[in-house]
Structure 1
């Protein structure tokens, strides 16, 4: 990574997109000081993070890894979710209550007595998310949250990302799924060769062919259909729902009268 200038603002969802090796995961791991920069600095809530103050970053920025098994360490789901609180010295009764509240937030209360490593991939993601939420961070980082999930589980995770955002927590995620990014993100950051090469709203980024080509990315299907059908793209649909609405609007317009010039024309 080099020359990266990246900020996360309150109350936003940011999606990092780019090809394999673009630097998405590496950038994410700097946000909570899992990795620390050799040059430059990490600033959390206005305070630069030093080697002696890594805990500040890790309490303010919760990280859900792509491989959920790497952060599931306890014999039961409930034990796992309250593990971080107990490390911070929270009394057992309070830790249990907060862990159950976090599981309820992600609709995973029914899993509290299960053994984490026997859960499905989607269930593990929800438990990992609850284990981060319980620490009450201001930012949650998700590395490829849909990796390996079927469509139903992907929708479930996407729903919870939106729910977390509605509670006032900023979300930063990396993804190869541009349909997902278009649906949930307020801001898209395009990465290539270890740097952020462009950013903007989904409409700005996904209708910028030069930027996407530079990062070897293809726009979401709604963008491709809008262009291929000659749809007026002033509204710039980026999701399937927006495309359907745009198509319905174009079909409801009255047909244009064509003027025919030439011999015998009125």
Structure 2
């Protein structure tokens, strides 16, 4: 039986202090060719957070992400979404609550125009065309892509395709949005555009999980960093704790963000350990304000003669 979505916005599910929005336990996941994609993984997404998965190629990031909405299922383990255990007969709940934007944007673009594409999921679930069109235009507006509604999806730029894919997920009003390598192949300007849209949807109360090789962006937008290596989550802490842990980064074959490298190379004694450019600039501005022309700091911070 087809599930009908009312024209009124769906009430977004929220986690509680005890129950995350999404929790995954995966003892193992083995691909048909025998490759072990993931093992001994425990992962959770809580309300109102941005989580970045980082790790070398082949570390298991995409495999983990595809378990969060039951695209893949553990050989042994359990997925719970908004407190509900997901079984083979209940994947629709996972896919409604956890919207997935794939790295290959073309794989999600199926309709002749952008507006038709964003409407597709709603109409497939039984929403009348006029209501679906209204909701689709609202979703496109959320990612500042309303001007694209009449375009043919496959002729869009890489960044535009990512935004349309994101709108197609947001229109279903999920609790969590998952993005697999959303900045791959994008130039800095378009990466920045996607970053701003991620911030916008997070500000509206949607949790975000993303995988990325761009640790500068991860440091800037993530509340929590999950480090993966050889199919397992080997660390799960704040950006500051992760990116200043040299042994951890070496184990995961990662280089720290630019700000962390500059801080170390310059020998700056910064107790707050900046991880973003803005944090480093703030520190340097404060240092400049408390030193005179000779570079000597005044003990009381007074810069007057």
Per the shorter chain, which TM-score range? over 0.9
The match for 2:218 among 177, 181, 193 is: 181
The match for 2:46 among 3, 9, 13 is: 9
Instruction: Work out the CA distance in 2 between the residues paired with 1:209 and 1:163.
Output: 32
- 1:84-233 equivalence runs, <5 A: 84-233=121-270
Q: Which has the higher helix share?
A: 1
The match for 1:237 among 274, 277, 280 is: 274
Q: Which runs of 5+ in 2 are unaligned?
A: 1-37, 299-305
Question: CA 1:256/1:240 → structure 2, altered by over 3 Å: closer, same or farther?
Answer: closer
SS of residue paired to 2:43: coil
Alpha-carbon shift at residue 220 of structure 1 (Å):
0.5
Question: Which moves more between the two structures, 229-238 or 143-152?
Answer: 229-238
SS of residue paired to 2:39: coil
Instruction: Work out the CA distance in 2 between the residues paired with 1:109 and 1:253.
Output: 48
Instruction: Establish whether residue 25 from structure 1 lines up as the match of residue 66 from structure 2.
Output: no
SS of residue paired to 2:44: coil
Instruction: Work out the CA distance in 2 between the residues paired with 1:171 and 1:245.
Output: 27
Instruction: Work out the CA distance in 2 between the residues paired with 1:198 and 1:68.
Output: 29
SS of residue paired to 1:198: strand
Question: CA 1:114/1:232 → structure 2, altered by over 3 Å: closer, same or farther?
Answer: same
Alpha-carbon shift at residue 161 of structure 1 (Å):
0.4
SS of residue paired to 1:3: strand
Instruction: Establish whether residue 45 from structure 1 lines up as the match of residue 87 from structure 2.
Output: no
Instruction: Work out the CA distance in 1 between the residues paired with 2:189 and 2:67.
Output: 31
Q: Which runs of 5+ in 1 are unaligned?
A: 258-266
Question: Which moves more between the two structures, 168-177 or 235-244?
Answer: 235-244
Instruction: Work out the CA distance in 2 between the residues paired with 1:53 and 1:152.
Output: 40
Q: Which has the higher strand share?
A: 2
Instruction: Work out the CA distance in 1 between the residues paired with 2:175 and 2:216.
Output: 26
Alpha-carbon shift at residue 250 of structure 1 (Å):
2.3
Please list the CA deviations of residues 117-153 of structure 1 after superposition, one character each: whole Å capped at 9, or x if unmatched: 0000010000000000000000000000000101110
**Match of 2:112?**
75
Question: Which moves more between the two structures, 230-239 or 18-27?
Answer: 230-239
Equivalenced residues, count? 257
Instruction: Work out the CA distance in 1 between the residues paired with 2:255 and 2:192.
Output: 21
The match for 2:283 among 242, 246, 251 is: 246
Please list the CA deviations of residues 93-120 of structure 1 after superposition, one character each: whole Å capped at 9, or x if unmatched: 1111000000000011111011000000
Instruction: Work out the CA distance in 2 between the residues paired with 1:16 and 1:53.
Output: 26
